[in-house]
Amino acid sequence: MVVGMKDALKLIGISVIACCAIFVCTLFLNYNIDIAAMENEITASGVVTMYNAIVSTGKVVAAVSGGCLAVTSVIMLLFYVKNYIDTHGKELGILKALGYSNFKIAKHFWIFGLSVFVGCALGYAAAFLYLPLFYELQNAEHLFPEIKVQFHLSLAFLLVVVPAISFAVLAVIYACFRLKTPVLDLLKEKHEYKAKLSKNETKDLPFLKELTRSTVMSRKSLVFFIAFSAFCFSAMVQMSMSIKDLSSETMAIMILTIGLILAFVTLFLSLSSVVKGNTKTIAMMRVFGYKHSDCSKAVLGGYRPFSYIGFVIGTIYQYVLLRIMVSIVFADVENVPEYNFDFTACVITLGLFVFTYEIAMYAYSRRIKKLPIKSIMLE
C-alpha cells in the first residue's frame, strides 16, 4: 500500500481542526433547525427580534468559523499530500518507473479523508453531548418555548460524511497532480527550489540570514500555519474575554478551549515540520561548527514576524466579528451591552502569547540541540 493508516494518523492536525469546526457548526446549526420548527409559536415582537438575532448569529458563527477552519483544513491537507510525495519520492518514483499510473498511485491517498472523518465524527458527537446544555444557555431567559434536542440525519450527513468524502477526493486529485513530476525527479527527490528564490536573492546577505529567508520561502504553507496559530490564539482568547458580557461564561470557555487547542496543535505541528524538514541542514551546520543557538535562530527565527502578523489579524478579526454581531445581528435587540475594543484583553492576550510562543520556540530550540550530529550520515 502506498499510503497506510499510519500515515493518515499523522494528519492529527486536520482531525483537530475538523473536530473544532464541526463542533461549532453542529451546535449552532442543530439549534437553528430545532428553533426554526417553533417559529410559528414565537409571536411577541420583542421575542421575534431575539429569535431573528439568534438565528442570524448561528448562521454567521457557523459560516465564519466553519468556513475559516475548512479553508485551513484544505491547506493543511494539501500541505500533507505534497510533503508526503516530497519525502517518499523514491518509493513513488519506483512505482511510476514500474508502470503504475499517476491515478493508480494517487487513489491510495483517499485514506487521508479518514482523518477528516474521525475529526468530524468526534466533533459531531461532542457537540451532540453538549447540545442540551447549549440549548439551556441559549434560552436562559426562557423567551422561547422549551426546545428539545433533535437528531437530524441530513445535518449529520452534511457535517460528517460530506467533508470526509470531499477531502478524500481532494487528496486523490491533488496527489494525482503532484505525481505528474517526472520519474527521475521523484527518484532523486529533486525539489523545485526554483529560480523564484534567485530573483529576490541578495548577493551580500550573510549565510545565516539567507538561510532564515530561504527556510521561510521554501515552505510557505508553514508560514500560513504559524500565522494561523497566532491568529487563533489572539482571536479566540480576546473574544472569550470580551464575549462574557455579550453572551455567557460557558460560551467564553468554549471559545477559549477551541482557540487554545487550535493554536497549540497548529503551532506544534508546524514547528515539528520545520525542524524535521531542516534536520540535515542543522546537522551539517553543526558539523561545520555553527553554534546550536545560530542553528535555532536561523531555522526558527524567520517565522516570528509572521506569528505577530497573525496575532494582529486575529485581534482585528475578533473585533470586527463582535462589532458586526452587536451592531448588525443584535441591532434590534434591547439591553445588549455596548461593545468597544477591549484594550486590557488585548494587552493580556499579547503578554500570554509572547510568553507561550517563546516557550514553544525554546522547547524546539532544545530539540534542535539534541539532534544527533551524525543524522546526515546515517542515510
Partner 1 sequence: MIAVSDITKSYGAGGNRNQVLKGISLQISDRDFTVILGASGSGKSTFLNVISGLERPDSGSVTYGSREITKLSDSELTQFRKDNIGFIFQQYYLLPNMTVEKNVRMGADLADNREYGKIITAVGLEDKSRKYPSELSGGEQQRVSVARALAKKPKVLFLDEPTGALDEQTGRQVLDYICKLHKEYGFTIVMVTHNQNIAEMANTVVKMNSGKISEVSANEKQKTAYEIGW
Using alpha carbons only, give the angle 310, 312, 317 rounded to the nearest 5 degrees.
90
- Shortest distance, position 219 Cβ to partner 1, whole Å: 9
The reply to whether 287 sits near partner 1 by the rule CB under 8 A is yes
Torsion, CA 291, CA 293, CA 294, CA 295, rounded to 10 = 90
Question: Is the distance from CB of 251 to CB of 331 less than 8 angstroms?
Answer: no
- Site size for partner 1, by CB under 8 A? 35
Distance separating alpha carbons of residues 284 and 377, to the nearest angstrom: 10
Cβ closer to partner 1: 180 or 370? Answer: 370
Question: Is the distance from CB of 30 to CB of 131 less than 8 angstroms?
Answer: yes
- C-alpha cell of residue 243: 464575549
Of 299, 298, 292, 226, the closest CA to residue 263 belongs to 226
Binding range to partner 1, per CB under 8 A, among 42-50, 176-184, 208-216, 239-247:
208-216
First to last CA, the chain: 23
The reply to whether 218 sits near partner 1 by the rule CB under 8 A is yes
Binding range to partner 1, per CB under 8 A, among 35-43, 131-139, 143-151, 206-214:
206-214
Pattern 319-338, partner 1, x by CB under 8 A: --------------------
Of 164, 165, 158, 163, the closest CA to residue 29 belongs to 158
Site for partner 1 (CB under 8 A): which residue of 152, 292, 304, 367? 292
- Shortest distance, position 157 Cβ to partner 1, whole Å: 44
Question: Is the distance from CB of 208 to CB of 146 less than 8 angstroms?
Answer: no
Distance separating alpha carbons of residues 300 and 216, to the nearest angstrom: 9
The reply to whether 193 sits near partner 1 by the rule CB under 8 A is yes
The reply to whether 379 sits near partner 1 by the rule CB under 8 A is yes
Cβ closer to partner 1: 284 or 324? Answer: 284
Distance separating alpha carbons of residues 115 and 167, to the nearest angstrom: 9
Cβ closer to partner 1: 129 or 287? Answer: 287
Site for partner 1 (CB under 8 A): which residue of 45, 198, 335, 344? 198
- Shortest distance, position 82 Cβ to partner 1, whole Å: 15
Pattern 262-281, partner 1, x by CB under 8 A: ------------------xx
- C-alpha cell of residue 342: 477591549
Residues near partner 1 (CB under 8 A) are 188, 190-194, 197-198, 201, 203, 206-208, 210-211, 214-215, 217-218, 280-281, 284-292, 373-374, 376-377, 379
